[in-house]
Amino acid sequence: MSERGSIRAAVLTQTPGELRIEDVEIAAPRPDEVLVRVAACGLCHSDVHVLDGHLPAALPAVIGHECAGIVEAVGSEVTNVGVGDHVVTCTSQFCGSCPRCRDGETWLCARRRAIGRGAGDPPLSWSDQPLYPLGSLGGLAEQMLVHRNAVVAVPKEVPLDRAALLGCAVLTGVGSVINGARVRVGETVAVIGCGGVGLNVVQGARLAGAERIFAVDTEPAKLELARRFGATDVVDASAGPGAEAVLEASGGGVDHAFEVVGLPATIAQAVDIAAPGRTAYIIGVPAADATIEIPGGPMVFRQKAIRGLIMGSSRFTDDIPMLARLYLQGRLELDALIEEHIALDDVNAGYERLRAGTHARSVVTFDF
Ligand SMILES: [Zn+2]
Ligand SMILES: [Zn+2]
């Protein structure tokens, strides 16, 4: 099958801007590619950065990177998935041979953009122009054409709308705790920002056996959800920074402070609430031009560390199936992450609700 197919997709033509639902063309798989019929795509906050022009993107683009679907076709060299498999995709596409990949750190692959199609030959086109899938995925579309190292099969028992969340929010949140911070039983954790990713930091800390889990947010509804995901203490920061409350209740700071908002002010708070000798982790994606200001003295006198974590420091080909199994065992919460299911045509309204910050995940679902 060498012909290009026609699909509906959410196209971004300018930033800041909104998405337009358009008919676009998608290529047939090359030998190392997988064609996926998209079942569900979650709306993630880093998409909002792109829509608002705070993260660079080649345009016109199809965004959306938290997806699950069913394999429709595979190229001749693809052996990791087959037609009919239920799969989750991930932006942590990897080459498998660079120094980072050889160390097993596939999420840091140095040749991610060098594998697969070059920038001049995207899998999508629109009105005879190239159309770029953001993060090499482009999930807000009826189909995606992805590299074989951007996809992993999951058990068919996991509903695909839940499975989609494993591709970003859950992998990033839970992975940051178990792979990035390596939280141990009995330690203390604080999470600033309890949206889709932050709730998964909370449940990652629960899975790791943290004794105290402080959830900080400005939205009471999110704090209630955080309790359901495993928070032992909730701090309403709507009237002001919650750092003082966490410092007091924890007796001088926590072992691991996670910032899941991506703002310089909350990153500084995370450093504040890390105990002496402990670490603050930046998980929320800051805007491209954001600069973090941290008082220098405490970094030395209290021997603090600050560390960025990307995609949960996860080898997604191992961790996504593991997380799927934990869900099937009833030990990983996915159902309560989904606030609403929406149609592709309503995607702009979904992002507007995400901007307002009042609820967890909106998931676009496709009928087929
Ligand atoms: Zn995301
Ligand atoms: Zn690599």
Q: Which ligand is nearest to the CA of 284?
A: 1
Q: Tell me, in angstroms, the distance from the centre of ligand 1 to residue 354's CA.
A: 12
Question: Does residue 120 carry a pLDDT above 90?
Answer: no
Question: How many other CB atoms are found less than 10 A from the CB of residue 292?
Answer: 14
Ligand 1 center–CA 63 separation, angstroms: 11
Determine which of 167-171, 270-274, 319-323, 358-362 has the lowest per-residue pLDDT on average.
Answer: 358-362
- Helix-helix angle 196-208:220-229, to 10 degrees: 30
Confidence at residue 197, expressed as pLDDT on a 0 to 100 scale = 96
Nearest ligand to the CA of 92 is: 2
Tokens of 174: 């839970």
Q: Dig out the tokens for 155 from the structure.
A: 């058990």
From ligand 1's centre to the CA of 301, what distance in Å? 35
Nearest listed ligand to the Cα of residue 64? 1
**How many CA atoms, within 13 angstroms, populate the side-chain half-sphere of residue 211?**
8
Q: Would you call 180 helix, strand, or coil by DSSP?
A: helix
- Tell me how far the alpha carbon of residue 316 lies from the centroid of ligand 2, in angstroms: 13
**Torsion sign, CA atoms 226, 66, 306, 331:** positive
pLDDT digits (tens, 9 = 90+) for 176-221: 999 999 999 999 999 999 999 999 999 999 999 999 999 999 999 9
What mean pLDDT value characterizes the chain?
A: 95
CB atoms within 10 A of CB 274: 24
Residue type, 67: C
Q: Which residue has the tokens 């099958």?
A: 1
Question: DSSP characters for 239-271?
Answer: TS-SHHHHHHHHTS-EEEEEE-S--HHHHHHHH
pLDDT recorded at residue 30: 96
Rounded distance from Cα 127 to ligand 2 centre (Å): 34
**Percentage of the chain lying above the pLDDT 70 cut:** 99
What is the SS3 assignment for 63?
A: coil
211 — alpha (psi -120 to 50), left (phi > 0) or beta?
alpha
Arithmetic mean of pLDDT, 143-154: 98
> What percentage of the chain has pLDDT greater than the value 90?
92
Q: Where in the chain is the domain with CATH 3.40.50.720?
A: 170-310
Residue 117: which pLDDT band, with cuts at 50, 70 and 90? confident
Q: Cα separation of 146 and 123, whole Å?
A: 8
pLDDT exceeds 70 at position 368:
no
Q: How far is the CA of 217 from the centre of ligand 2 (A)?
A: 36
DSSP assignment of 29-62: P-TTEEEEEEEEEE--HHHHHHHTTSS---SSEE
d(CA 188, CA 200): 16
Nearest to 310 by CA among 273, 275, 282: 282
State in Å: Cα 121 to ligand 1 middle.
24
Structure tokens, 44 = 């993630």
The rounded Cα 320 to chain-centroid distance in angstroms is 12
- The 10s digit of each residue's pLDDT in 11-24 is 999 999 999 999 99
pLDDT in tens, 132-142: 999 999 999 99
Nearest ligand by distance to the CA of 46:
1
Instruction: Give the Cα-Cα-Cα angle 160, 162, 164 (nearest 5 degrees).
Output: 70
Cβ pair 65, 139 in contact under 8 A: yes
pTM greater than 0.85: yes
Mean pLDDT value of segment 337-366: 93
Note the ligand closest to the C-alpha atom of 113: 2
Q: Is the pLDDT reported for residue 85 higher than 50? A: yes
Tokens of 198: 């932050």
Whether residue 1 is predicted with pLDDT greater than 50 in this model: the reply is no
Q: Which CATH architecture has domain 170-310?
A: 3-Layer(aba) Sandwich (3.40)
Ligand nearest to the CA of 354: 1
55 contacts: CB under 8 Å, gap ≥ 6: 46, 49, 285, 287, 288
Ligand number, closest to the Cα atom of 166: 1
262 C-alpha vs ligand 2 centroid, how far in Å? 26
Ligand 1 mean position to 80 CA, how many Å? Answer: 24
Cα 24 to Cα 329: distance, rounded to the nearest angstrom: 40
Q: CATH 3.90.180.10 residue ranges in the chain?
A: 5-153+334-365
User: In this structure, what token pair is assigned to residue 250?
Assistant: 């924890």
User: Is-contact 89 81, C-beta < 8 A?
Assistant: no
* Residue-level pLDDT at 151: 98
Give the whole-angstrom CA distance, residue 25 versus residue 41: 19
CATH architecture classification, 5-153+334-365: Alpha-Beta Complex (3.90)
Q: How far is the CA of 296 from the centre of ligand 1 (A)?
A: 31
Question: At residue 324, does pLDDT exceed 80?
Answer: yes
Give one DSSP letter per residue of 96-165, joined into a string.
Answer: S-SHHHHTT-GGG-TTGGGSSS-TTS-SEEETTEEEEEGGGT--SBSEEEEEGGGEEE--TTS-HHHHHH
Calculate how far, in angstroms, residue 317's C-alpha sits from the geometric centre of ligand 2.
14
pLDDT in tens, 43-81: 999 999 999 999 999 999 999 999 999 999 999 999 999
